[in-house]
Chains A and B, each alone.
Chain A
Amino acid sequence: MLKILKYSFYDLMRSRWSYVYFAFYLLLGIVLLFLNNDLSKAVITLMNVIIVLVPLIGTIFGVMYYYNSKEFTELLLAQPLKRSSIFLGQYLGVALSLSMSLILGLGIPFVFYGLFESSAIWNFSLLLITGTFLTLIFTALAFNIALSNENKIKGFGYAILLWLFLAIIYDGLFLMTLIMFEDYPLDKLSLVGTMLNPIDLSRTLILLKLDISALLGYTGAVFKQFFGTNFGLVVSFIMLSIWVVLPVLRIVFKSKRKDF
């Protein structure tokens, strides 16, 4: 698996898209920091960008890579390699190269800005960790979609739909549900609703840092325990890990049963 990972990673690290992605984040970081000169504002803007854009890029890129390297995958399949290591290797290759672009693209301008002497370093690290998690999750979901759909166009369609659903539509439905049942105690429901969507989960993690003052304004005891202590942070990270593990397991499962 490590060998496949290595080659996929090198392959992607040399592709134009990795550079575009990297350059985009580099530019974003530079613009936010050096034109605006306001670290707190930069972190907030970055958060908005990360929770929307990282999943989108992760899904599109994952699906694209899978379909584009289909013949290469077949070549690999004829080699004495386990299927799971071929697909996990490719998956990790994509996910890690995307994460690298993100971390370096944003990290470099921030380091030059003097991040290490700033108190925002924790918020910033949390952003990058969350971004990496989202990349891992959405690339895995993309591989799942691609593995289940031979038709490229269908695969892309589902990938975009998945993103639209989790990034926007889900929250709309969520909001409507909460308003509809506002007469009932909702704090558990709202937390569960958050856990079931990795984008919401990441957003909550960041809210814990940026908006704790507002979150603590709400009465519910479960809410209070979740946001007032480290409990929320720990649970969120566990859930994010589950969100990585489940699709990855399905990649392994699905790839073992697939014909090429």
Chain B
Amino acid sequence: MVTIQNLYKNFGKNDVLKGVDLSIKDGGIFAVLGPNGSGKTTLIKSILGMVIPNKGEISVLGENIKKSSDYRHKIDYLPQIANFPSNLKVKELIKMIKDLRGNTSNDEHLIELFRLEPFLNKKLGNLSGGTKQKVNIVLTFMFDSPLIILDEPTTGLDPISLIRLKDLIQKEKSNGKTILITSHIMSFVEEVSDEIVFLLEGQIYFKGTIQDLKTKTNQPDFEHAIASILTKNHA
């Protein structure tokens, strides 16, 4: 699905990615983890073409993404901070994204799922953070793309919505889609992901299932496993 070879990226003097090699196979849920500043968001943005790498190659569905924008038709992306034009109404935003990406009818079902009907005619500037995030989720899931990238999807969600989101992710997985998630909520990661990719100082420190990680670090649970990697490396 996604192949990354020898990826380098620096912002000024700050080397963020230092030779990342990664290949993600079709189908399943992958969590990209790592401490703050380890390059998670940069990696995801590189896949999306928002960050231009200094070196290395990325291909999505077998197509090199350099100088191309059409491949993004095959990606649904949920950005970390959802901040929309404040003068637009929710309805108009949904209409606009459809206008930009092509039509779909999934939105009605999703709006119902997240109980967004009362907000459809409100301006985005007047919505709470949680509601904005729900709108964000609707925008992401309303298209039927083989690759879904979720950057901190749980931010600001109430428990009910969180449950619905998890259901939604599982459903997409059962449809055979590839899902890439970053999150700080370990329980969430543990619950949903099939495989994790652990980034540390711009390189891939670990890739495999959660069970593999536990074995490797000799820790009984996931959270401690992660913690042990961090303490070991920072000590």
A residues apposed to B, CB below 8 Å: 3, 7, 10-12, 14-15, 69-72, 74-83, 257-260
Contacts and interface: CB of A to CB of B under 8 A. Distances in A.
B71 A259 contact: no
A77 B48 contact: yes
Given A257-B52, A259-B45, A69 B85 contact: yes
B71 A78 contact: no
B79 A80 contact: no
Contacts of B73: 80
B50 A80 contact: no
Interface stretch (B26-34, B93-101, B173-181, B210-218): B93-101
B70 interface: yes
A4 B52 CA distance: 22
A78 B75 contact: yes
Contact of A260 (B45, B84, B85, B99): B45
Contact of A72 (B9, B71, B77, B83): B83
Interface residues of B, number: 29
A69 B83 CA distance: 8
B72 A80 contact: yes
Nearest to A4: B100
Contacts of B52: 257-259
B83 A80 contact: no
A259 B50 contact: yes
Majority secondary structure of chain B interface residues (helix, strand, loop or mixed): mixed
Given A3-B99, A72-B85, A83-B69, A78 B77 contact: yes
B84 A71 contact: yes
Contacts of B96: 3, 7
A17 to B, nearest CB: 10
B227 to A, nearest CB: 31
Given A80-B73, A81-B100, A74 B85 contact: no
Contacts of A75: 79, 82, 84, 139
A71 B45 contact: no
A75 B101 CA distance: 12
Interface of B: 9, 11, 45, 48-52, 69-73, 75, 77, 79, 81-85, 87-88, 96-97, 99-101, 139
Nearest to A82: B69
Given A11-B87, A78-B75, A79-B101, A71 B81 contact: yes
B69 A78 contact: no
A80 B51 contact: no
B72 A78 contact: yes
Contacts of B50: 74, 77-78, 259-260
Given A7-B96, A71-B79, A80 B70 contact: yes
Residue from A3, A7, A15, A83 with most neighbouring chain B CB atoms (10 Å): A7
B95 to A, nearest CB: 10
Given A3-B96, A71-B81, 17 more contacts: A11-B85, A14-B87, A71-B82, A71-B83, A71-B84, A72-B84, A75-B79, A78-B48, A78-B72, A78-B77, A79-B97, A80-B69, A83-B69, A257-B52, A258-B52, A259-B11, A260-B45
A96 B227 CA distance: 54
Nearest to B97: A79
A259 B87 CA distance: 26
Nearest to B51: A259
A77 B151 CA distance: 15
